[in-house]
Amino acid sequence: MSQLFCSFHALDSKGLLHFSLNQQQVGGNRGVPTSYMANHSVLRISSCKANSEILDGEAYKYYADGEWKKSSSGKLVPIINPTTRKVHYKVQACTQEEVNKVMETAKIAQKSWAKTPLWKRAELLHKAASILKEHKAPIAESLVKEIAKPAKDAVTEVVRSGDLVSYCAEEGVRILGEGKFLVSDSFPGNDRTKYCLTSKIPLGVVLAIPPFNYPVNLAVSKIAPALIAGNSLVLKPPTQGAVSCLHMVHCFHLAGFPKGLISCVTGKGSEIGDFLTMHPGVNCISFTGGDTGIAISKKAGMIPLQMELGGKDACIVLEDADLDLVAANIIKGGFSYSGQRCTAVKVVLVMESVADALVEKVNKRVAKLTVGPPEENSDITPVVSESSANFIEGLVVDAKQKGATFCQEYKRDGNLIWPLLLDNVRPDMRIAWEEPFGPVLPVIRITSVEEGIHHCNASNFGLQGCVFTKDINKAILIGDAMETGTVQINSAPARGPDHFPFQGIKDSGIGSQGITNSINMMTKIKTTVINLPTPSYSMG
């Protein structure tokens, strides 16, 4: 069998990976699904040499107290490559005692960091952002291998993360450099005998838990606001995505942040997950993920929570919508990164009169999607795990049994699921309500706008939604009626740009993200009141 191998050379001005190709005969598919080998030549990115200090043989170390360490447990957690379904990386299985030590050093480091001038905090964040962009190659490679993210998208995530850190540094200086001055005589019955000064102070130790699908970007969206605000940060990365996070943390390490200020502990959630989230040393939790967040919120106690827990983002399409625009956004919103996005279009609610035309347009675009390994920058790559693929298949089987129209043949090879549009989906089908987190999209035909709004609001999720119409008045009215944290008009749901507010309601989350909102959330108000012996009036 002929197979292409490639060596990673450089990234051009646009951040695109460049390869040199060599063809040779190989025997067997080395764990790559057979359909890949039949239809594609597999590009293999040669492993970028990781800094030796973060590796111990074949296993990555965890990061604590400014050092890279092996766990005393002697155990390792394997990370499965979604494409080959074989172990690709190993990380430390940290113990509860090691978590305790991390919390102790984080508390000590935070006290000193809170006294660090704002400009100095910002300076270090800018330095980390620059290093992050310089080291985008090994981080991007990890994203390709750990979570099957297409190579070009992996590079984009790292560059975007660097931009987020820099923006956060600038925004933090502005937000935290200002306070308020209040006077007592603005409230009835008071003379001007009290001056009130308010400022924002750090919470303490922030626990950050990002998800597998954007492990780097959603980690720095928590790390940067926490640090600029004067907090210390403990990062618990997802298993799939842990190595990418460790490479990212290494960039902060190289930037020269104080020892103990940033920690990254790896391990099984079943062993240290609850221990971390219920730890008395934690003063704030920022979590992005699924149902686990609901359990965390019930156990965390009286500390601030910032949570984004998924969505069933509805796309409501009216009769007057530009169907070409709608179709393009359904493809972008529903199938990019194989639908493994909280803000992916998860259900299309289209008026019956234009449903046939829209489905036809979407099907033509689905047929053009490329399917294969992430190294080839395929549009559709393997979903993150076999359990995820099995869950998606369960939704598909249920829909078939209940009479949904399959616009494409359902096809699966290992963790790879071909894109599938399901038409004539009814509310009694699981796919109408559950979040597949895969390249399967249901279409529900509606006869009125009210029917579409009702379906959207009947969901236990409320992250985002979108409305397509040329009538801005209708769009505003429908958007206001939709019970979601964000409504996009004439565009697919999206989290960015990263400084925009991002929030969900119901089971989609608590609090609001976005750089400014995160900085504010990771601080609290401190008030100082000056009591005067007599009323004092400026220029009085």
Catalytic residue numbers, as ranges: 308
Report residue 372 as tokens: 């294969």
* C-alpha dist (Å) from residue 52 to 136, 247, 434: 17, 12, 44
CA distance 23 to 500: 46
Which amino acid does the sequence have at 330?
A: I
Pair 250, 61: CB distance under 8 Å: no
Element (H, E) at 361: helix 352-366
Report residue 185 as tokens: 């005589």
**Whose structure tokens read 């069933």?**
312
Number of other CB atoms surrounding residue 480 within 10 Å? 8
439: helix, strand or coil: coil
CA distance 48 to 44: 12
Report residue 328 as tokens: 């393009």
- Burial of 195-220, coded b for 16+ CB within 10 Å and e otherwise, reads eeeeebebbbbbbbbbbbbbbbbbbb
Residue 339 neighbours by CB under 8 Å, 6+ apart: 436, 437, 438, 439, 440, 441
Torsion sign, CA atoms 440, 444, 450, 455: negative
DSSP 123-134: HHHHHHHHHHHH
Question: HSE-up of 277 (CA within 13 Å, CB side)?
Answer: 22
CA distance 166 to 224: 9
Pair 446, 452: CB distance under 8 Å: yes
Pair 59, 92: CB distance under 8 Å: yes
CA distance 305 to 286: 6
Number of other CB atoms surrounding residue 331 within 10 Å? 23
Report residue 243 as tokens: 């190595």
CA distance 72 to 534: 64
